[in-house]
């Protein structure tokens, strides 16, 4: 019942906030991380959350707490939207000469809070804003673009290449609700080409345990 009420509330917030989002198409690493079929996040394979902080220049990104509107105030650009209901995605995308960056929300974030951050080398696909001059690539405190699979293995203990040239990690822990009724999950995905990272993304969710 509690989970159903939460989802109804999230859907209501999405309907209320549609005015600030333009229709778009989510592409690249953003779509890979948002979807459920590219990475292999089914089982936890890390003992602790790999990402403790995300910074884009002076802006600190706290997954599930920082709003897309805060990112927009810092860097400008258009918020795009794709899908309906449970499949709704909202995002800010910034294309710079070095890489493309996505800040994304989903139904669990009410289309408002940043739930995922992804970075990919190269030009964008899908709808994306031109990054402002000096746009800072988000730093996550983990191996990033250009890192080798050996660095991933050294950092996380393993670096198994999946069916989409992906390396997928996930960690779970009890949520800090004091009730023992919820679970936090953080998932981390890499795309590797020629033994080097060309895409990286992290996301977080909190779900009620049945």
Q: How far is CA 6 from CA 66, 109, 112, 119, 188, in A?
A: 19, 11, 14, 30, 25
Start-to-end C-alpha separation, the chain: 10
Structural domain that includes position 134:
2-208
Domain count of the chain?
1
Question: Closest Cα to residue 188, out of 206, 173, 207, 166?
Answer: 166
Q: Which of 32-41, 64-73, 163-172, 191-200 has the lowest mean pLDDT?
A: 32-41
Tell me the per-residue pLDDT of 193-208, one tens digit each, with 9 for 90 and over. 999 999 999 999 998 7
Q: Write down the pTM of the prediction.
A: 0.89
Tell me the per-residue pLDDT of 90-108, one tens digit each, with 9 for 90 and over. 999 999 999 999 999 999 9
């Amino acid at each position: 019942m509690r989970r159903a009420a939460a989802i109804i509330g999230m859907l209501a917030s999405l309907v209320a906030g549609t005015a600030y989002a333009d229709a778009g198409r989510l592409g690249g690493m953003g779509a890979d991380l948002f979807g459920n079929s590219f990475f292999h996040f089914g089982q936890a394979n890390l003992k602790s959350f790999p990402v403790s902080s995300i910074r884009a220049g002076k802006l600190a990104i706290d997954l599930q707490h920082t709003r897309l509107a805060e990112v927009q105030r810092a860097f400008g650009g258009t918020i795009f939207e794709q899908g309906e209901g449970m499949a709704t995605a909202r995002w800010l995308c910034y294309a710079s000469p070095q890489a493309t960056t996505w800040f994304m929300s989903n139904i669990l974030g009410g289309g408002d809070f940043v739930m995922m951050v992804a970075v990919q080398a190269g030009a964008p696909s899908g709808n994306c804003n031109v990054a402002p001059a000096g746009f800072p690539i988000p730093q996550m405190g983990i191996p990033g673009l250009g890192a080798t699979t050996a660095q991933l293995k050294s950092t996380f203990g393993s670096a198994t290449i999946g069916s989409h040239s992906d390396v997928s990690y996930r960690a779970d822990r009890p949520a800090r609700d004091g009730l023992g009724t919820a679970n936090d999950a953080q998932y981390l995905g890499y795309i590797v080409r020629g033994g080097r990272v060309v895409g990286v993304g992290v996301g977080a969710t909190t779900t009620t345990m049945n």
